[in-house]
Structure 1
């Protein structure tokens, strides 16, 4: 697997295809994008997060170049901590180790290239598959905030997870 910069003109259609149902969509973007996701809304979100937080979007590819995942990462130079956001894996490949491999590379990027001392992320407590994946990479639970997001008749908590050098 390899990481490369996200290229909207060639990569957005993959993300749109991976965004298969409304609940999974909400788990991924916390209502920051409409469902189904549009190119315009995705571009606006990425640009907004680049300006506000310094986010850089990446695509994970198989060695042959086929896109299999997406995430954004930013490093806060004041705290020397990187933040992962909007982590997504091709819906047909979930549960097959692609997420673990992609996140391992993202952490390696944060430590080796961005020179961060820690990497954190937030995951909804209801997203048990993602949380299990993050734990398998070495993230640990740092805090849980209950009832931060409402999806239909559900109230979701937010778990902050961290991995350090």
Structure 2
């Protein structure tokens, strides 16, 4: 597997159907994007995230050339912390180690930068499977914002998780 930049013209049609219900979409995007995922909206959100935070979007590509995952990454130079966002894996790849491989490649790239001390991400506490997955990789819960997000009649806590580089 390798990581390459996301290309809206070729990759959007591959990832657009990976999230099949509105609640999962809300957990993935915190409603920053419309459901169902729309090309123009995604392109606009990614451009805004790039302009505001320096986010770059990537896909994980299996050895056979097929796209297995998507994520965004940015580095806050002042805090020396990277941030992973919008992580999603092809449903056909789940449970096969592809997500772990993708995140480990993303972390390796992040920590190749000598100015990166840590990488963080946010996950809703209600997304138990994802939270356990990040813990398995080595992320630790740093803080939780209670009732940070409302979805219909639910209120979700947002958990900030961090993993430190080997030198910190």
After TM superposition, the score normalised by the length of structure 1 is: 0.96
In the alignment, which residue of structure 2 is the partner of 1:87?
87
Asked whether the 8 Å contact 1:83–1:121 carries over to 2, the reply is yes
Q: CA RMSD, aligned part only?
A: 1.1
Structure 2: where are the runs of 5+ without partners?
none
Q: Provide the C-alpha distance between the structure 2 equivalents of 1:73 and 1:157, rounded to a whole number of angstroms.
A: 22
After TM superposition, the score normalised by the length of structure 2 is: 0.95
How many aligned residue pairs are there? 165
Asked whether the 8 Å contact 1:100–1:136 carries over to 2, the reply is no
In the alignment, which residue of structure 1 is the partner of 2:124?
124
In structure 2, the residue corresponding to 1:102 is in which secondary structure? helix
In the alignment, which residue of structure 1 is the partner of 2:152?
152
Structure 1: where are the runs of 5+ without partners?
none
1:123 Cα deviation after fit: 0.3
Q: Provide the C-alpha distance between the structure 1 equivalents of 2:90 and 2:114, rounded to a whole number of angstroms.
A: 26
1:42 partnered with 2:42: yes
Q: Provide the C-alpha distance between the structure 1 equivalents of 2:91 and 2:20, rounded to a whole number of angstroms.
A: 7
Q: Which runs of 4+ in 1 moved over 4 A?
A: none
